[in-house]
Amino acid sequence: MNPNNEQHRKLWAAMIFAIIFCTIGSGFYRNLSAGDNETYKGLQIFSEVIDLIENNYVDPVDSKELIQKAIHGMVNSLDPHSQLLPPEAFKELQIDTEGEFGGIGIVITMQKGVLTVISPIEGTPAHKAGIKAGDIIIKVNDEPTKDMMLWEAVNKMRGPKGESVKITIVRKGAAKPIVFNITRDIIPIESVKYITLKSGFGYIRVTNFQKSTTDDLKSAMDALESEMEMEGLILDLRDNPGGLLTQAIQMSDVFLSDGAIVSIRGRHEEHTRSYNAHDDTQTRLYPLVVLINGGSASASEIVAGALQDHKRALILGTTSFGKGSVQTVESLRDGYGLKYTIARYYTPNGKSIQAQGIEPDITIKHEFINLEEKEGEGEGGLLKEKDLKNHLEAEPDLIIQEIEEETEEGAEEPEKSEDLENTQKRDYRYGPLEIDALMTDNQVVRALEILEGFNILKN
């Protein structure tokens, strides 16, 4: 028997195993027989390429690693949210909705192979150090992040409490990259905070959607209602990156008594369904203003869209992120997982959130007020879904748009001035809620004015 032919057959078998690994193992089957001519031709080319590389490449290569990278490339080319998850990444994904983990506390995404911060998690080492939404992480412990898998970057930044991690970022407006040495801590995922703004008016901040978020929201509302007769509520979803779909539906249901909350539509009937509100014995009819911005994504957009379409709340702020796609995670053999997109979200009025976001009823950019030096956010540097490579369009026939980013060489230490520390203290969204800080936020102040004005007119 010709050794080359034997090796060719082994490689072909390995490749077929890899394809089956991604299909049958994830719970669905697709016929990849010779009858599918284009698929069969593609598999032949794939086999030939592996054979040539393994036998002739300048350095020895690992066939298993080549195949795994090929699968990564195949899945990652679909959209920014689809991934093959090695065992470590699969475990990390399961941790995200549980309650706490060791790390620095940032929500990140991968755009054109570049690691980008969507938002820091409030009260964490990353925010205290000065990491901001829109920062591009170019190195972790001096290792370049370009073309690094998202799970790898997450895994490198997470770790035991007390250990430090070196982060190098590029920031819009900064002449050089900035280096941060951040000490890891236990990152508690406290998703709901609340405070009384003034008699009759409450404020609730929701930072993400985890298993207990709706219950925590109800507890916060019960506490506010026990203190006073509620005349209005501000629900702050700014910089909320999302989380569990079930929690977004349940939170919307708290404020709605009937009608659709969200629908999802995919290629198959089992991926198409509508979720509706239910009549609740506890009626909360007081006026509601919801705050959103470019960091509000996914589950937070579902809540804002449902309340807006039902005219249950006034939406104030700036256009949300636009992450309107549904992902499912299937377990594969050997601890692997496959995360892939199966549908798009639609608001009750049938609008797709994908790459468009929720448009506020009243558009107001965020800035601090009543200070000698105003710290405007501008939000121009915030990354949105439509900026991500291979993002899905609201409808399949729309043209995919990409953005180009450039980084400069060199590095500088982060600013440690008193002005920066004061700015961080004033940015109440990433720390304890304080009345004085809230009343320097023009969006919160405007929302409160609207609620007060509504009650005056109503009376």
pLDDT in tens, the chain (459 residues): 455 545 554 544 444 444 434 433 333 334 444 447 888 888 899 999 999 999 999 999 998 889 888 998 999 899 988 989 888 778 766 665 555 678 998 888 876 668 888 778 777 899 899 998 889 999 999 999 887 888 788 889 988 889 999 999 999 889 999 999 999 998 877 789 999 999 999 999 998 898 899 999 999 999 999 999 999 999 999 989 888 899 999 999 999 999 999 999 999 998 999 999 998 878 788 999 999 999 999 999 999 999 999 999 999 999 999 999 988 889 998 888 999 999 999 999 999 999 899 999 999 999 888 544 444 444 545 666 776 667 676 654 433 233 234 444 455 555 443 333 333 334 444 456 889 989 999 999 999 999 999 989 987
Q: What is the pLDDT of residue 80?
A: 87
Whether 139 is catalytic is no
Whether 441 is catalytic is no
Q: How far apart are CA 130 and CA 375, in angstroms?
A: 14
Whether pTM > 0.85 for this model: the answer is no
Determine which one of 309, 387, 427, 441 is catalytic: 309
Determine which one of 298, 300, 320, 325 is catalytic: 298
Q: Which helix (H) or strand (E) holds 107?
A: strand 106-111
Q: How far apart are CA 415 and CA 421, in angstroms?
A: 9
Q: How far apart are CA 336 and CA 338, in angstroms?
A: 7
Of the candidates 262, 294, 303, 315, the residue with the CA atom closest to the CA atom of residue 384: 294
Q: What is the pLDDT of residue 150?
A: 83
How many CB atoms sit inside 10 A of residue 297's CB?
Answer: 29
Determine which one of 323, 339, 384, 386 is catalytic: 323
Residues spanned by CATH 2.30.42.10 within the chain?
87-187
Contact 8, 47 (CB under 8 A): yes
Residues spanned by CATH 3.90.226.10 within the chain?
190-385+416-458
Q: How far apart are CA 89 and CA 104, in angstroms?
A: 17
Whether 309 is catalytic is yes
The domain defined by 190-385+416-458 folds into 2-enoyl-CoA Hydratase; Chain A, domain 1 (3.90.226)
Top CATH class, 87-187: mainly beta
